[in-house]
A and B are shown apart, each in its own frame.
Chain A
Amino acid sequence: MNTTERRLIDLGERLDWPETADLTKAVQDRVSAPRPTHRPQRRLSWAVAAAMIVAISFLASLAPVRQAAAGLLGILGIRIEQTGPIVDGLGFDLDLGAAVTLEEAQAMVDFPLRRPDNLPPPDVIYLDPGKAIVSMVWSANDDLPDVGDTGVGLILTQFRGDSGGFVKQAPPDATVIEATVGDDPGFWIEGGPHALTYVDAAGEVQSDTTRLAGNVLIWPHLGVSHRLESMLDLGASAVIAESLSVP
């Protein structure tokens, strides 16, 4: 054990951790109580649901009402509950939202989610409920090199919005070139994390940052912005990008 390890253990032992609360009775009471029966889910038309998502996205972008907006999501009759370790930790620290199933993610966005045909299904799917952004995450493997120390090989993000001309605050040493995916014009950014802005479905300007210090291909398709982050080069990224289809 080296000095740094000893100092870390010392730090852990000497931190003033909060006193452990005895949760036994509270947990027992809750698991003993009959679970509330689920109300029949309200069926909303896609138009209404989309409008609500847009409204919620806008509200959620305002910090003071962020918590209230999160509560509003229940109105849609969609309850996202993680009842087990459905997340294996992959991408957990990348600030992508809550882990959901593809069906749950699809129910929360007003556009068809697409997946690459030339990759297996994603290992984890995250939904940022505030901005209605869906991120599909694949773990690193021989074909998808680990990006930094994240264990992530590739992230595909999809969100409603006009991302034309959105690249902003790219680091000075980053390479930003125009690229095409099929017939869609996009950008290829190589050389570091960057921030971007885009106009969401409500016409609001949103900002976001890339999650990995890898290479990024960004392109819009039928009003949906796509962002593919990985360590792959432009050619390999474009092959994946062009294989997207609705599963």
Chain B
Amino acid sequence: MKRFANPEGRPLDDRALIRAAKAGSTDAYGQLVQQHQALAQRVAYLVVGDASEAEDLAQEAFVKAFRALDRFDESKPFTPWLCTIVRNEARNRRRRFGRQAGLQSRLAFDRALAAIVPTPEAAAIEAEQREQLWTAISHLPPGQRAVIQLRYLAGLSEAETAATLGIPPGTVKSRAARALDSLGTALEAAT
């Protein structure tokens, strides 16, 4: 695959790659895929909780994003736009598979939690605290849960989270604040 780079040899940024992809370069789009596929798969995984499902969803989202590139506003960042498509795909898939997906999601996270290897002396406490935190996240209202998942678990910025969810940054802030309060209270009650 041809690598796109600027004259100093640094990889091209998203905007330049998108411009090249719009002009028909699948190599440029491939580079864009490489730069964003880890995040896309994580965001999908947060919704469906199954690794191979998440992989399929991310692939589908990248294909749809390519076909919609002409409508992409280049003045805006690519990441939230892609994350929105991924979440739409994941959401629709979860809908088709109904409750089973929710169960898989829960089990996947249980497995993911179990796989964490904490320091030996704090093992039991840390594992328990993380389980409590995960349970508390799952009990948040959907809007708050989405903010917490994207902002803290997937690692999106506040602006990216806002753009992905289609809400103002101030709403991300207020939802996060309320969610953090609820999570803090839930954790205190559990200890």
Contacts and interface: CB of A to CB of B under 8 A. Distances in A.
A20 B153 contact: no
A7 B153 contact: no
Contacts of B99: 63
Interface in B155-190: 155, 164-167, 171, 174-175, 178, 180, 183-184, 187
Interface residues of A, number: 53
A213 B165 CA distance: 20
A87 interface: yes
Contact of A11 (B30, B55, B134): B134
Contact of B88 (A7, A23, A82, A150): A82
Nearest to A5: B180
B51 interface: yes
B59 A26 contact: yes
Interface stretch (A40-48, A95-103, A217-225): A95-103
Given A14-B116, A28-B29, A84 B178 contact: no
A23 B87 contact: no
Contact of B116 (A15, A27, A84): A15
A23 B32 CA distance: 11
Contact of B41 (A7, A20, A95): A20
Interface in B53-89: 54-55, 58-59, 62-68, 71-72, 81, 84-85, 87-89
B64 A84 contact: yes
9 smallest CB-CB distances across A and B, nearest first, come from A88-B166, A89-B166, A93-B142, A18-B51, A84-B68, A16-B115, A8-B152, A89-B165, A12-B153
